[in-house]
């Protein structure tokens, strides 16, 4: 197989191993798939069995609640029955979805039908219970109590009147009544027919002769009315009791023919389905276990065969790989590591006649690297010297431009502040003008209001004088009325009193009208003076508004002039900022070029060679400038942020011998072109 390529041999070897692994994988997958299917089926059967168990438990609780309800009639038992019935219905729906075997599915449907019939029968039981309770509570309990009270009253009345025979027979009737009620209660609790018969015997057969005897002996109307009441309540009690007996017999018939029959049938059907699922589980478990064991055996055999084939292929590929390397991989690794660390003084010895191995290629590469690195060192020294001089000149230019930009920025800020103050003064003057105009308008309106008030007060004074005259006339009339009352003598006394009161009222009205007239006259004088003062203020306020308007106009013109100056300064600031940015950009470019030159020197210094190869490079280093002023980033105004653009580097031509990834710079240092004609060689 020596004429095959290494890639073909490795592909064939790994292909064989991959094929064997594929066989193992297919066998494992097939076995696992079979196991998953088996376990899935087993899990399904287990879930169905568990579901049937829960269904069976819920059905049992339903039957228990039915028994409890029949005994106690408690609504709590009916509510629990409904809750378990709901859960049972949900389990049945889930069983219909999960169980797909035809014979089992038909059993599930039959179970569902019987459970529905069971629930309908329980609803009948609940209705019977309501009717039974109504008969007992409405018919039996109140009538039994009333009948006992009537017989007790009859016994007490007869005993009080000395009617011993009546008291005796009434007592016997009360005894049979209590026995009848006792056996009726026992029948309601235990539903024994013998108790019902004994109750009917006591209440009917034994009471009728006693009631007949009492009807013959009773003469007193009160006791006869008690006797009639007892007979009526006895008949009502018997009717209610017979109704209860009929209801209980019908209920017991439903229990016997429906509930007691359906409950065991459903339980048996659920048990049959559960046992069928259990038998399928017992068959499926061993089958899944046997299939898993067979899969494990197959996987072990194929895995051992794959390991053996992989060992043989690995041994052959190792022989095939070492031949083109020309040496041990560890030696080659050490050699490459030393070269990667910059040691070009390594000596590589190849086997006689070996010109195509990796070892021989490494020897040729190291020899050529020695020459290339020497040339790169000379070029890096020249670039470093020129970039240092360029950096010094750019730094001086950048410093001057930055200082000019800072001065212009300060001037611009001062003008902006001055413009803001002028604008504020203009705004204040405008507001003052508005206030003065409004004050003038208000003063004018106030003068009008004062004039109107003066007119109104004069009218009020005229009206008050009329009121004074009316009061004076009323006073005269009251005086005349008093005189006429005095002439009338005894008949005019009442009129005289009224006339005196009218006179007093007229005097008070005249006095009040006189005071109001004086106040009105005084108010008119004050209002006239206030109106005169306001009329004098109006021209002064208007003059103030005109002066403020002139101030506002002057402020606006001043603000416009400052804005023009500010825009001119901002344009100058932009030009200065551009100059500063350009200077900074040139300085940064020089710094970057110097840094790249130093980086190139550091990169080349990574390699170590014989003294004879690097002597010329060390001699050229004496011409380098070893100290340069450091370019620092100055704080430029916030309106400009200089952007440093790196000078584009010429793209190196593609190496003829190939390309490799490196953390350094890829250079072509051959002398076949004139790209280095602008540089001075030392």
Residues paired with residue 608 on neighbouring β-strands, in sequence order: 343
Give 205 or 490, the one with higher predicted confidence.
Answer: 205
**Do 398 and 634 meet the contact criterion of CB atoms below 8 Å apart?**
yes
| Residue 529 half-sphere exposure toward CB, CA atoms < 13 A | 5
d(CA 461, CA 453): 12
**Do 35 and 293 meet the contact criterion of CB atoms below 8 Å apart?**
no
**Do 123 and 143 meet the contact criterion of CB atoms below 8 Å apart?**
no
Closest CA to 38 of 388, 292, 356: 292
Q: Span 516-529, mean pLDDT? A: 74
Residue 489 DSSP symbol: G
In order, the DSSP letters of 572-599 are HHHHHHHHHHHHHHHHHHHHHHHHHHHH
Residue with tokens 């083109």: 324
Q: What is the pLDDT of residues 336-368, one digit of tens each?
A: 787 777 776 777 777 777 776 677 777 777 777
Closest CA to 471 of 521, 519, 505: 505
In order, the DSSP letters of 621-658 are GGGS----PPP------TT------PPPPPPPPPPTT-
Structure tokens at 288: 């899944």
pLDDT band of residue 673 (cuts 50, 70, 90) is low
In order, the DSSP letters of 148-189 are HHHHHHHHHHHHHHT-HHHHHHHHHHHHHHHHHHHHHHHHHH
The mean predicted confidence, pLDDT, of the chain is 73
- Domain covering 363-604: architecture: Orthogonal Bundle (1.10)
Q: Is the pLDDT of residue 624 over 70?
A: no
Residue with tokens 């350094």: 664
**Do 91 and 58 meet the contact criterion of CB atoms below 8 Å apart?**
yes
pLDDT band of residue 682 (cuts 50, 70, 90) is very low
pLDDT at 630: 41
d(CA 240, CA 246): 10
Burial class (CB in 10 A: 0-12, 13-18, 19+), 674: exposed
Q: Is the pLDDT of residue 171 over 80?
A: yes
Best-predicted range by mean pLDDT among 207-221, 524-538, 650-664? 207-221
**Do 506 and 474 meet the contact criterion of CB atoms below 8 Å apart?**
yes
Q: Where are the beta strands (DSSP E) in 461-540?
A: none
Structure tokens at 460: 């009020």
**Do 590 and 454 meet the contact criterion of CB atoms below 8 Å apart?**
no
Q: Is the pLDDT of residue 146 over 80?
A: yes
CA-based end-to-end distance of the chain: 59
Q: Span 275-299, mean pLDDT? A: 71
Of 56-70, 183-197, 368-382, 387-401, where does mean pLDDT reach its minimum?
Answer: 387-401
**Do 259 and 66 meet the contact criterion of CB atoms below 8 Å apart?**
yes
Q: What is the pLDDT of residues 375-422, one digit of tens each?
A: 777 766 776 676 676 666 667 766 766 776 777 777 777 777 777 777
In the chain, the percentage of residues whose pLDDT exceeds 70 is 74
d(CA 168, CA 159): 9
d(CA 576, CA 401): 7
| Residue 372 half-sphere exposure toward CB, CA atoms < 13 A | 15
Dihedral angle of Cα 58, 59, 60, 63, to the nearest 10 degrees: 120
Residues paired with residue 343 on neighbouring β-strands, in sequence order: 608
3-state secondary structure of 608: strand
Q: Span 15-19, mean pLDDT? A: 80
Query: Alpha carbon 464 to chain centroid distance?
Result: 81
Instruction: Enumerate residues 6+ apart whose C-beta is below 8 A from 541.
Output: 436, 439, 440, 443
Of 165-179, 475-489, 658-672, where does mean pLDDT reach its minimum?
Answer: 658-672
**Do 38 and 291 meet the contact criterion of CB atoms below 8 Å apart?**
yes
Structure tokens at 328: 């041990």
Q: Is the pLDDT of residue 271 over 80?
A: no
Instruction: Enumerate residues 6+ apart whose C-beta is below 8 A from 285.
Output: 42
d(CA 508, CA 461): 18
Q: What is the 3 state secondary structure string of 334-392?
A: HHHHHHHCCECCCCCCCCCCCCCCHHHHHHHHHHHHHHHHHHHHHHHHHHHHHHHHHHH
Q: Is the pLDDT of residue 622 over 50?
A: no
Instruction: Enumerate residues 6+ apart whose C-beta is below 8 A from 35.
Output: 288, 291, 292, 295
Residue 605 DSSP symbol: T
pLDDT at 650: 41
Closest CA to 599 of 664, 670, 512, 518: 664
Residue with tokens 């980086």: 599
Give 428 or 1, the one with higher predicted confidence.
Answer: 428
In order, the DSSP letters of 471-507 are HHHHHHHHHHHHHHHHHHGGGGHHHHHHHHHHHHHHH
Residue 202 DSSP symbol: I
Domain boundary assignment for the chain: 6-302, 363-604
Q: Angle CA(117)–CA(123)–CA(126) in degrees, nearest 5?
A: 145
Query: Alpha carbon 150 to chain centroid distance?
Result: 75
Instruction: Enumerate residues 6+ apart whose C-beta is below 8 A from 83.
Output: none
Whether pTM > 0.85 for this model: the answer is no
pLDDT at 6: 63
Q: What is the pLDDT of residues 462-492, one digit of tens each?
A: 777 787 778 778 878 777 877 877 777 776 7
pLDDT at 655: 37
Q: Is the pLDDT of residue 644 over 50?
A: no
d(CA 404, CA 488): 123
Whole-angstrom CA distances from 43 to 47, 145, 370, 535 are 6, 66, 75, 109
Residue with tokens 């103030």: 544
Q: Span 204-215, mean pLDDT? A: 87
In the chain, the percentage of residues whose pLDDT exceeds 90 is 0
Of 10-14, 205-209, 429-433, 612-616, where does mean pLDDT reach its minimum?
Answer: 612-616
Q: Is the pLDDT of residue 681 over 50?
A: no
CATH class held by domain 6-302: mainly alpha
Residue 636 DSSP symbol: -
pLDDT band of residue 42 (cuts 50, 70, 90) is low
Q: Is the pLDDT of residue 639 over 60?
A: no
Instruction: Enumerate residues 6+ apart whose C-beta is below 8 A from 525.
Output: none
d(CA 47, CA 513): 112
Q: Is the pLDDT of residue 623 over 70?
A: no
In order, the DSSP letters of 179-243 are HHHHHHHHHHHH--HHHHHHHHIIIIITHHHHHHHHHHH---HHHHHHHHHHHHHHHHHHHHHHH
Query: Alpha carbon 84 to chain centroid distance?
Result: 37
**Do 25 and 302 meet the contact criterion of CB atoms below 8 Å apart?**
no
Residue 1 has a CB neighbour count (10 Å cut-off) of: 8
């Amino acid at each position: 197989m020596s004429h095959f390529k290494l890639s073909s041999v490795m592909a064939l070897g790994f292909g064989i191993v991959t094929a064997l692994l594929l066989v193992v994988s297919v066998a494992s997958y097939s076995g696992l798939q079979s196991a998953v299917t088996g376990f899935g089926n087993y899990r399904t059967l287990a879930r169905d069995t568990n579901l049937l168990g829960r269904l069976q438990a819920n059905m049992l609780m339903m039957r228990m609640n039915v028994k409890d309800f029949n005994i106690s009639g408690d609504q709590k038992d009916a509510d629990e029955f409904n809750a378990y019935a709901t859960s049972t219905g949900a389990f049945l729906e889930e069983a219909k979805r999960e169980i797909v075997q035809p014979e089992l599915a038909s059993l599930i449907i039959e179970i569902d039908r019987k459970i529905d019939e069971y629930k309908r029968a329980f609803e009948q039981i609940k209705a019977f219970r309501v009717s039974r309770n109504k008969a007992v509570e409405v018919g039996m309990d109140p009538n039994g109590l009333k009948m006992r009270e009537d017989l007790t009253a009859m016994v007490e009345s007869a005993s009080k009147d000395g009617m011993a025979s009546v008291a005796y027979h009434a007592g016997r009737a009360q005894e049979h009544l209590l026995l009848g009620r006792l056996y009726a209660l026992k029948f309601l609790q235990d539903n024994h027919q013998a108790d019902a018969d004994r109750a009917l015997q006591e209440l009917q057969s034994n009471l009728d002769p006693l009631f007949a005897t009492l009807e013959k002996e009773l003469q007193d109307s009160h006791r006869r009315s008690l006797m009639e009441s007892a007979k009526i309540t006895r008949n009502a009690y018997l009717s209610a009791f017979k109704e209860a007996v009929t209801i209980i017999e019908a209920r017991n018939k439903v229990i016997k023919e429906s509930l007691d029959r359906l409950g065991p049938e459903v339980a048996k059907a659920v048990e049959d389905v559960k046992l069928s699922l259990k038998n399928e589980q017992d068959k499926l478990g061993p089958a899944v276990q046997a299939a898993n064991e067979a899969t494990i055996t197959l996987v072990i055999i194929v895995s051992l065969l794959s390991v053996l084939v992989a060992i043989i292929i690995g041994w052959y590929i190792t022989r095939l790989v070492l031949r083109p390397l020309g040496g041990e991989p560890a030696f080659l690794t050490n050699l490459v590591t030393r070269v990667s660390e910059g040691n070009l003084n390594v000596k590589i010895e190849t086997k006689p006649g070996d010109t195509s191995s990796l070892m021989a290629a490494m020897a040729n590469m190291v020899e050529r690297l020695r020459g290339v690195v020497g040339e790169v060192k000379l070029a890096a020294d020249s670039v470093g010297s020129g970039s240092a001089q360029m950096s010094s000149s750019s730094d001086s230019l950048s410093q001057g431009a930055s200082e000019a930009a800072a001065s212009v920025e300060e001037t611009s800020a001062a003008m902006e502040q001055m413009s803001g103050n002028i604008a504020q003064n203009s705004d204040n003057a405008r507001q003052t003008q508005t206030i003065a105009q409004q004050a003038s308008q208000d003063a004018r309106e106030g003068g009008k209001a004062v004039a109107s008030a003066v007119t109104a007060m004069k009218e009020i004074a005229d009206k008050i004088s009329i009121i004074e005259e009316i009061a004076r006339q009323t006073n005269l009339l009251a005086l005349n009325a008093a005189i006429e009352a005095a002439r009338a003598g005894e008949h005019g006394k009442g009129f005289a009193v009224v006339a005196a009161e009218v006179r007093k009222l007229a005097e008070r009205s005249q006095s009040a009208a006189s005071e109001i007239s004086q106040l009105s006259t005084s108010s008119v004088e004050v209002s006239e003076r206030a109106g005169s003062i306001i009329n004098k203020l109006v021209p002064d306020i208007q003059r103030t508004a005109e002066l403020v308007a002139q101030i506002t106009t002057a402020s606006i013109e001043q603000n416009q002039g400052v804005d023009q100056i500010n825009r001119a300064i901002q344009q100058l600031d932009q030009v200065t900022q551009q100059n500063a940015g350009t200077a900074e950009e040139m300085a940064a470019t020089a710094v970057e070029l110097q840094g790249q030159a130093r980086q190139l020197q550091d990169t080349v210094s990574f390699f170590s060679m014989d003294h004879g190869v690097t002597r010329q490079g060390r001699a050229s280093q004496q011409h380098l400038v070893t100290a340069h002023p450091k370019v620092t980033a100055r704080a430029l105004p916030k309106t400009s942020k200089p952007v440093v653009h790196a000078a584009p580097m010429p793209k190196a031509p593609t190496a003829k011998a190939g390309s490799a990834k490196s953390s350094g710079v890829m250079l072509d240092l051959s002398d076949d072109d004139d790209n280095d004609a602008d540089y001075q060689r030392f």
